[in-house]
Chain A
Amino acid sequence: MKYNISENKGYLLLQGGNIYDPYIDLASVGDILIKDGFIERISKYIAPDKEYKVIDCKNKIVTNGFIDLHVHFREPGFELKETLESGSRSAFYGGYTRVCTMPNTNPVVDTPELVQLLIKKSESLPIYIYPIGAITKNQSGQELSEIGSMVKSGAVAISDDGIPVSNSQMMRFALEYAKKFNIPVINHAEDNYLVNEGLMHEGNNSLKLGLPGNPGIAESSMVFRDISIAEYVGGRLHIPHVSSYKSVEVIKQFKDRNVDVTAEVTPHHLCLTDDVLLDYNTDAKVAPPIRSNKDRRALIEAVKSGLINCIATDHAPHAIEDKETDMFNSCCGMIGLESAFGLVNKCLSKEQMSIESIIDLFSLNPSKIIGIEPIHIKENNQAEINIVDPKILWDFEIDHIQSKSKNTPILGMKLEGQVIATLNKGYIALKK
């Protein structure tokens, strides 16, 4: 498969697609003519001209770019694993035009200067990057970061990423203080004492493999704490990468009382089970761990019912040597941007979800959480557009990975549905 990103010059005609832009209630079949990266016309039919490049969009969805609330682009500090440039390519390939980067870089993104640096460095990239600032200085859990100044500089949320805010009073301070800036607080919900150095989900497979297990209650007990605090202080909590059925129960309990809380799930928690670790596959070692089929079923039901709002990849690149080691020493995390849509669509299209509602999990729903919208599909607007083939079956192979890192257990799996072209900021990424 060939893939390249080029400047979107001249005329491009998107012919006969199902145009879907939920931000402006647009759902119709038609043609879109793009000139030099801007939408010139949208119409039922636009006659092709010999100077137009034509993309046949019949039976495909022409929709907005995707938004990922949770990626790791590793810059500054860990450029061996990923850079803003390589991460952006990876995102663009997967259909993402806007991503939120986690602050666990070196140095940690805990000042407005670092937020500005990331935004400045990403200006020339084909996607928009929104930094998430650290809740506490150096993710230490000890002192609040300059949250207000970071937000003023462009941060869209705060999180200490993989390090849970263990001190409950600090979590309360963060949720209360962040209210003024109208951003969500994202806390990695795991009680480290209950995690107890668990290397995978505690269940039949951890028993079989002799690996210390990390139980679902390590997550759900902290989810309960976090929503309780958020409810009490009226703060905005967003729960990242929900993994256990117990957490879904807790979220439901609060949402039934109309507590305002949002949640995301990763493609791997939604679509895989801990069977994927049976050969001590370190590429499938993630935090929180991939759990049992019971957990997976609960996550699917929660996505269908809206208890879980959106998909976020937690794209976590790691170098070969970070993964080609034993289960204890290997790093947690897997890449996900290139495979996310194909994996999730394969899973959810079997669950009586419409293609539109699946797409909403990648665009409309996450954008509501951080209050950022892609550019609408309207005449005279710059094109920020995905062309989605919902039916195509494809094998996910190493050639599909644009990230600098290749750590994913999805390699070799059959996926269903693909973003075949993405347009953004005057660029086009096209798969052929």
Chain B
Amino acid sequence: METKHLLGLDSTSLNDITTIIDTGFLFRDILERPIKRVPTLTGKNIVNLFFENSTRTKISFELAEKRLSADITNFSSSTSSVKKGESLKDTIQNIHSMKMDCVVIRHPIPGSSKQLTNYVDSVVINAGDGTHEHPTQALLDMMSIKEKFGKIAGIKVGIVGDILHSRVALSNIYGLVKLGAEVKVCGPSHLIQRNIEDLGVSVTYDVDELIEWADVLNVLRIQNERMGLGIIPSIREYREFFGITQSRLENHKKEIVIMHPGPMNRGVEIDSQVADGDQAIILNQVLNGVAVRMSVLYLLLGDINLEV
């Protein structure tokens, strides 16, 4: 690996991204075995620092760590205490003095994982930093696309939802563009960065146009917090213009793969029939999430001479 940390896909090379995804498939095979545990990271200490609520990502990282036989410590702190001015530096230095090999961090402020590398010399893995990046989510999304299509280059990926506040969207854009996929984003126009084309993606505000164009749709969760700010007029209006509904898909009469990073708001951004339908690979994404996180941990922490 060229990178020491996984902070984001913007700062990760094409080679590293490809290696992580390819190695992910090896771990995916291990996950299909009756005994899913390998001794690869025996004796390595990993701390999961979650300064923001998370269920899925946290469990996925924990599973990945356990299946690699690492020793793990969990630390959770709510968003509010961070905003009260709890010093990130102090928390981290305390935990670091307990001699950790790796810090997996989720934090509400963009850049926090990058800044963490100033204070500790262990490997840092970004599990989501505010509205910036969520690299392992994008890696598992890309792995799922590769699993489905056998390749990523040339695949047309539509991302729909609140692009502006989505770290999933940003990491996917960085990764997919590097791997040669075509990316089009769609959502309410005030929830898309005004200069997002500079990242090499196209934009549409018309979800039907997106469906007609795309091979895969990555449907983002509409966060309830945004609703409270009066930014989205109502759930029914959102669903009418941007929801991936069963009837909308039927109108298009085409095959399209549906992804969702979860947790889903059924009946808001995605209909239950779509989420549970044949075209959805949402549960594969969950399994690939564990595999790709095992891959990241192994590549950044493991002794490369060991057999997987």
Interface residues of A (CB under 8 A from B): 199, 202-204, 207-212, 279-280, 282, 321, 324-329
B114 and A326 within 8 A (CB) = no
A207 and B196 within 8 A (CB) = yes
Segment touching A, from B20-28, B124-132, B177-185, B278-286: B124-132
Report the separation of the CA atoms of residues A20 and B89 in the bound assembly, to the nearest whole angstrom.
50
In the complex where A280-B115, A328-B83 touch, is A207 in contact with B198 (Cβ < 8 A)? yes
Flag whether B88 is at the interface (Cβ < 8 A): yes
B132 and A211 within 8 A (CB) = yes
Flag whether B167 is at the interface (Cβ < 8 A): yes
Which of A199, A279, A321, A329 has most B Cβ within 10 Å? A329
Residues of A within 8 A of B132 (CB): 209-211
Residues of A within 8 A of B167 (CB): 210
Q: Which of B89, B114, B193, B198 meets A325, CB within 8 Å? A: B89
Q: Which of A202, A204, A209, A325 meets B110, CB within 8 Å? A: A209
Flag whether B267 is at the interface (Cβ < 8 A): no
Residues of B within 8 A of A199 (CB): 110
A325 and B88 within 8 A (CB) = yes
Flag whether B141 is at the interface (Cβ < 8 A): no
B189-213 with Cβ < 8 A to chain A: 193-196, 198-199
Report the separation of the CA atoms of residues A209 and B115 in the bound assembly, to the nearest whole angstrom.
12
19 contacts between A and B (CB under 8 A): A199-B110, A204-B195, A207-B196, A208-B199, A209-B111, A209-B132, A210-B167, A210-B170, A211-B111, A212-B131, A280-B110, A280-B111, A282-B115, A327-B109, A328-B109, A329-B82, A329-B83, A329-B85, A329-B88
> A interface, by DSSP: helix, strand, loop or mixed?
loop
Residues of B within 8 A of A321 (CB): 87, 89
Residues of B within 8 A of A203 (CB): 195
A210 and B133 within 8 A (CB) = yes
Report the separation of the CA atoms of residues A209 and B111 in the bound assembly, to the nearest whole angstrom.
7
Residues of A within 8 A of B83 (CB): 328-329
Q: Which 7 residue pairs are nearest across A and B when measured between Cβ atoms? A: A210-B132, A280-B111, A326-B109, A210-B110, A328-B109, A210-B131, A211-B110
The smallest beta-carbon distance between A330 and chain B, in angstroms, is 10
In the complex where A280-B111, A280-B114, A326-B112 touch, is A211 in contact with B131 (Cβ < 8 A)? yes
In the complex where A209-B111, A210-B167 touch, is A325 in contact with B87 (Cβ < 8 A)? yes
Report the interface size for chain B: residues with CB under 8 A from the other chain. Answer: 28
Residues of B within 8 A of A280 (CB): 110-111, 114-115
Flag whether B67 is at the interface (Cβ < 8 A): no
A324 and B109 within 8 A (CB) = no
B89 and A324 within 8 A (CB) = yes
Residues of A within 8 A of B131 (CB): 210-212
**New contact pairs (12) apart from A328-B108, A329-B109, CB-CB < 8 Å:** A202-B194, A203-B195, A207-B195, A207-B196, A207-B199, A209-B111, A210-B167, A211-B132, A325-B87, A327-B111, A329-B82, A329-B83
Residues of B within 8 A of A325 (CB): 87-89
Name the CB-closest residue of B to A207: B193
Report the separation of the CA atoms of residues A210 and B133 in the bound assembly, to the nearest whole angstrom.
7
B196 and A279 within 8 A (CB) = no
Name the CB-closest residue of B to A206: B193
The smallest beta-carbon distance between A284 and chain B, in angstroms, is 12
B66-89 with Cβ < 8 A to chain A: 82-83, 85, 87-89
B102-116 with Cβ < 8 A to chain A: 107-112, 114-115
The smallest beta-carbon distance between A405 and chain B, in angstroms, is 17
Residues of B within 8 A of A209 (CB): 110-111, 132
Report the separation of the CA atoms of residues A210 and B7 in the bound assembly, to the nearest whole angstrom.
13
Name the CB-closest residue of A to B132: A210
Flag whether B101 is at the interface (Cβ < 8 A): no
Report the separation of the CA atoms of residues A199 and B130 in the bound assembly, to the nearest whole angstrom.
13
Flag whether B10 is at the interface (Cβ < 8 A): yes
The smallest beta-carbon distance between A339 and chain B, in angstroms, is 23
Residues of A within 8 A of B85 (CB): 329
Report the separation of the CA atoms of residues A210 and B138 in the bound assembly, to the nearest whole angstrom.
15
Report the separation of the CA atoms of residues A210 and B109 in the bound assembly, to the nearest whole angstrom.
9
Report the separation of the CA atoms of residues A398 and B129 in the bound assembly, to the nearest whole angstrom.
31
Report the separation of the CA atoms of residues A282 and B111 in the bound assembly, to the nearest whole angstrom.
10
Name the CB-closest residue of B to A215: B194
A326 and B88 within 8 A (CB) = yes
Residues of A within 8 A of B108 (CB): 328
A204 and B198 within 8 A (CB) = yes
The smallest beta-carbon distance between B285 and chain A, in angstroms, is 22
Residues of B within 8 A of A207 (CB): 193, 195-196, 198-199
The smallest beta-carbon distance between A15 and chain B, in angstroms, is 48
Residues of B within 8 A of A211 (CB): 110-111, 131-132
Report the separation of the CA atoms of residues A280 and B110 in the bound assembly, to the nearest whole angstrom.
9
Residues of A within 8 A of B133 (CB): 210
Name the CB-closest residue of B to A324: B89
Name the CB-closest residue of B to A212: B131
The smallest beta-carbon distance between B221 and chain A, in angstroms, is 17
Report the separation of the CA atoms of residues A26 and B101 in the bound assembly, to the nearest whole angstrom.
67
Report the separation of the CA atoms of residues A204 and B87 in the bound assembly, to the nearest whole angstrom.
29
The smallest beta-carbon distance between B128 and chain A, in angstroms, is 10
Residues of A within 8 A of B196 (CB): 207
The smallest beta-carbon distance between B220 and chain A, in angstroms, is 15
B115 and A326 within 8 A (CB) = yes
The smallest beta-carbon distance between B119 and chain A, in angstroms, is 8
The smallest beta-carbon distance between B133 and chain A, in angstroms, is 6
Name the CB-closest residue of B to A280: B111
Residues of A within 8 A of B109 (CB): 326-329
Report the separation of the CA atoms of residues A321 and B88 in the bound assembly, to the nearest whole angstrom.
10
Name the CB-closest residue of B to A211: B110
Name the CB-closest residue of A to B116: A326
Residues of B within 8 A of A279 (CB): 114
| 0/1 string, B41-76, CB within 8 A of A gives 1 | 000000000000000000000000000000000000
Report the separation of the CA atoms of residues A279 and B170 in the bound assembly, to the nearest whole angstrom.
17
Report the separation of the CA atoms of residues A205 and B112 in the bound assembly, to the nearest whole angstrom.
16
The smallest beta-carbon distance between A280 and chain B, in angstroms, is 3
Name the CB-closest residue of A to B111: A280
Report the separation of the CA atoms of residues A282 and B118 in the bound assembly, to the nearest whole angstrom.
12
The smallest beta-carbon distance between A78 and chain B, in angstroms, is 16
Which of A211, A280, A324 has most B Cβ within 10 Å? A280
Report the separation of the CA atoms of residues A57 and B107 in the bound assembly, to the nearest whole angstrom.
56
Report the separation of the CA atoms of residues A212 and B10 in the bound assembly, to the nearest whole angstrom.
17
Report the separation of the CA atoms of residues A164 and B131 in the bound assembly, to the nearest whole angstrom.
27
